Amino acid sequence: MSPTWASENPSASVPQATIITDGPIVVPLAEMGLIHEGVLEMARWVERYRPQCVPEGGFNSVLDLLPHDGFDAVPGDFVEVAISGGDSDAPARRFTRQRKVTDNELLCELAGRKCYDSFADAGAKRTNGEYLRSMWEGRIPHRSTGYHAKMTFFFAHISRRVSHELIRNYVGSDRDEEGSPSQESTRFTHHPGTYIAHPYVLDKPHELEMFRTTARTNYKQYVETIERKVEAYHAGTGRSPTGLDKKRIYESSAGDLLMSCGTSFIWTTNSMALTKFFHERDDDAADMEMSRFAREVKRVAFERWPNLFVGFQR
């Protein structure tokens, strides 16, 4: 008898694990977006009670409230331009390319400026990066404003062991204790048979082959366990399991999967939680798979929101 659930696993007859030897997948999915009408409504409130804190010429956009044009330097991106004329020994000028500041970065700046209503010319003329650095560095950093910047990622090609470490060590989580993960289920979804090779074995052919053999055996046993339970259910009821009955079979079998089995999830966090994550896990003393994952998240985050990590050791 061939159970109907087998269509979820195209290789159920000869289950074959897939060994992942490349790095984790880290994809930004979403970030905070300013509601410009709301920002202007806030500005009208400030204008009513602190008219000296808004631009005299009025305001029609978010950028009217800020002493910069919404563009900032691209970190480390310079072009050398020789000075024409004058002293030939004069040093070349270094021009930094510009990028448009994200709403996430602007939101943190607005949060800081609202504390003192230091909008437009009422505050020091700084770029977004300079302003955030002034808040988050120094003897008493004002880091609470960094929690406003939310970002959502899709993560894949990491093991369930590492996803558990994220929870166990409370790193990279949002400000509440649980964080905001939505992780791939093993209770109703047939695991696809992906296993993550730990970086320790990647340059050790014998160990990698041993892991490959172990993973394939494990996945075969996992599939056979589900098949056995489905067949027993069918023999007792005359039908294939659905709904809660199917969940009971999968939930009782998922624990047989190795902790190195692959997982994927969507994770929402904030810049301060990520800063904590990078400090704690982008380190050679951390678990090798975890530090590899942290460094990839760090690379992606720094590329997209560099001003949210100003002053952080890159």
pLDDT 10s digits, 242-283: 999 999 999 999 999 999 999 999 999 999 889 888 988 999
Taking residue 80's Cβ as centre, other Cβ atoms within 10 Å add up to 9
Distances (CA, A) of 78 to 52, 69, 96, 288: 38, 20, 5, 33
Q: pLDDT band at residue 173, thresholds of 50, 70 and 90?
A: low
pLDDT in tens, 174-194: 655 445 788 899 988 899 999
For residues 191 and 80, which has the higher predicted lDDT (pLDDT)?
191
CA distance 291 to 195: 18
When the pLDDT of each residue in the chain is averaged and rounded to a whole number, the result is 86
Q: pLDDT band at residue 7, thresholds of 50, 70 and 90?
A: very low
Q: pLDDT band at residue 92, thresholds of 50, 70 and 90?
A: low
pLDDT in tens, 57-79: 889 999 999 999 999 988 766 55
With tokens 């760090």, the residue in question is: 298
Do 25 and 156 form a contact (C-beta atoms < 8 A)? yes
pLDDT of residue 78: 56
Helical (H) or strand (E) element with 75? strand 71-81
Distances (CA, A) of 220 to 2, 54, 116, 207, 256: 16, 67, 62, 20, 11
Q: What percent of the chain has a predicted confidence (pLDDT) above 70?
A: 84
**Domain 4-30+149-309 bears CATH identifier 3.90.700.10:** no
Mean pLDDT of 304-311: 88
Is residue 90's pLDDT more than 80?
no
In the chain, % helix, strand, coil (3-state, to 5) comes to: 45, 20, 35
Tell me the domain boundaries of the chain.
4-30+149-309, 33-147
The b-or-e profile of 272-283 (16+ CB within 10 A means b, else e) is bbbbbbbebbbe
Is residue 172's pLDDT more than 70?
no
Helix, strand or coil, per DSSP, at residue 95: strand
